[in-house]
């Protein structure tokens, strides 16, 4: 008998995977190349337009330069002798014009010495300076303020010479003390001197030509031989008056001892002078 095939299930046929379409890849590469070509062309066109615009701008600038007038010279005009940069006349040098880096003490001392008519003399060679490390540097405004203070004391008939001497001695011991700050105790003592220093204050005070300053000053009772010591000279003058508050000298008659009248108006001619008693 002839052989027959088995009745088993036949195997399925093997199907190969599909191939990728090459045509689509070729189209993609073509699209990319066309886009790149278009961008390069645009850039080239822009460059050409920019170059043309630059050339037109340069030609316009040249045309304007030929039409417009040249600018004026920026150099300063020649300056006349004896004038400043603004054309104003220069001022003569003053007494304070000194070389640079001049100490303020030297300048102020020269200014104070120049006031010879005020009776205030400050030597420019006075040894009142201390090392810079021990005290702050004095300035010209401080010394001028000190000068104003001393002159004010002199105008008020105070003992300005005593204040000046004592303040310099105080500053020798305290180099950091400022010149423009008055010493309170010395200032009060100069304005209201003690009775023992009245005569020295009168000698240090320059004479005044006005009658009011002469009456305000306290004179010494020994200036005339007719009035004994201890009696007020201003009160016992024939036409004199004493304007001192709490006068230190007697206002009673030195002939009869009465306090109702002064000595020139005394009617007791027989009374003897107390100096002869």
Asked if 218 and 136 sit in the same domain, the reply is no
- Which domain, by its residues, includes 267? 211-277
Count of domains forming the chain: 2
> pLDDT band for position 92 (50/70/90)?
low
Examine residue 233 and state whether it is found in any structural domain, yes or no: yes
Is 114 inside a domain boundary? Answer: yes
Of 129, 120, 109, the residue nearest 172 (C-alpha): 129
Domain boundary among 178, 204, 230: 204
Look at residue 57 and tell me if it is in a domain. no
Last residue of a domain, one of 152, 173, 204: 204
The confidence score (pLDDT) of residue 219 equals 46
End residue of a domain, out of 180, 204, 228: 204
- Reported as a pLDDT band with limits 50, 70 and 90, residue 214 is very low
Calculate the average pLDDT of the chain.
68
Evaluate if pTM is beyond 0.85: no
For the stretch 114-149, pLDDT in tens is: 544 444 444 444 444 445 455 455 577 888 888 888
136 DSSP 8-state letter:
P
pLDDT tens track for 229-277: 888 877 777 777 787 777 888 888 888 888 778 777 887 755 545 444 4
Question: Does the pLDDT at position 166 exceed 80?
Answer: yes
123 strand-pairing partners: none
Res. 25 pLDDT band, cuts 50 70 90: low
Specify if 37 maps to a domain. Answer: no
Return the pLDDT at 85: 66
Count the helix, strand and coil residues of the chain and give each as a percent rounded to the nearest 5: 45, 0, 55
**What are the two backbone dihedrals, phi and then psi, of residue 83, each rounded to the nearest 5 degrees?**
-125, 160
Please tell me which residue, 223 or 89, carries the higher pLDDT value: 89
Q: Is the pLDDT of residue 180 over 80?
A: yes
């Amino acid at each position: 008998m002839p052989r027959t095939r088995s009745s088993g299930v036949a195997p399925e046929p093997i199907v190969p995977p599909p191939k990728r379409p090459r045509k689509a890849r070729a189209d993609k590469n073509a699209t990319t190349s066309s886009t790149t070509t278009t961008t390069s062309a645009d850039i080239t066109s822009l460059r050409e337009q920019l170059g043309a615009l630059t050339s037109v701008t340069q030609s316009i600038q040249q045309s304007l330069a030929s039409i417009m007038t040249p600018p004026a010279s920026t150099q300063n005009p020649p300056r006349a002798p004896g004038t400043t940069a603004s054309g104003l006349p220069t001022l003569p040098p003053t007494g304070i014009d000194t070389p640079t880096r001049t100490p303020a003490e030297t300048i102020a001392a020269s200014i104070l010495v120049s006031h010879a008519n005020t009776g205030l003399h400050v030597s420019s060679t006075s040894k009142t300076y201390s090392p810079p490390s021990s005290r702050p540097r004095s300035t010209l405004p401080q010394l001028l303020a000190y000068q104003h203070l001393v002159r004010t004391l002199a105008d008020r008939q105070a003992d300005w010479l005593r204040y000046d001497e004592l303040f310099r001695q105080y500053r020798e011991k305290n180099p950091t003390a400022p010149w423009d700050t008055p010493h309170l105790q010395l200032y009060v003592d100069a304005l209201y001197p003690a009775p023992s220093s009245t005569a020295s204050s009168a000698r240090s005070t320059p004479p005044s030509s006005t009658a009011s300053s002469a009456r305000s000053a306290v004179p010494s009772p020994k200036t005339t031989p007719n009035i004994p010591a201890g009696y007020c000279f201003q009160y016992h003058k024939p036409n004199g008056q004493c304007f001192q508050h709490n006068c230190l000298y007697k206002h009673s008659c030195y002939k009869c001892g009465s306090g109702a009248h002064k000595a020139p108006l005394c009617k007791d001619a027989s009374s003897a002078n107390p100096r002869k008693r």
